[in-house]
Amino acid sequence: CNLETGRTHQIRVHFAHIGHPVVNDPFYGYRRMDFPIEGQALHSKSLDVKHPITGEEMHFEAPIPADFKACLEFAKTYREDKRK
């Protein structure tokens, strides 16, 4: 995922503010680590919206990409190493 640079980087600022910065975010995240992913790690597993014309509830799901899974596994291993 490569986030478009908006005027205020809102999603990145909000996540960092609540203590959950986006992985590999060069401005609001932690120092860059050797995460096995290109760009920033941001994924939406599911999305529920109302159709703008019919008002019908719509549900979308997206599988977690392989590089994102690798990033999660890396973070888990890193966390376990820090506990030792």
For residue range 23-72, what is the model confidence (pLDDT) as tens digits?
878 787 766 667 777 777 778 889 999 999 999 999 999 999 888 888 88
Q: How far is CA 14 from CA 22, 29, 41, 79, 81, in A?
A: 10, 11, 15, 23, 28
What residue type is 67 in one-letter code?
D
Report the alpha-carbon distance of residue 24 to residue 34 in Å, rounded. Answer: 9
Residue 63 within any structural domain of the chain: yes
Domain assignment of residue 21, given as a range: 10-83
- Taken as a whole, the chain contains a residue count of 84
Question: Per the structure, how many domains does the chain have?
Answer: 1
Q: Is the pTM of this model over 0.85?
A: no
Residue 72 within any structural domain of the chain: yes
Residue 3 within any structural domain of the chain: no
Residue 1 within any structural domain of the chain: no
Q: Which of 81, 78, 80 is nearest to 33 (CA)?
A: 78
Residue 5 within any structural domain of the chain: no
Report the alpha-carbon distance of residue 55 to residue 50 in Å, rounded. Answer: 5
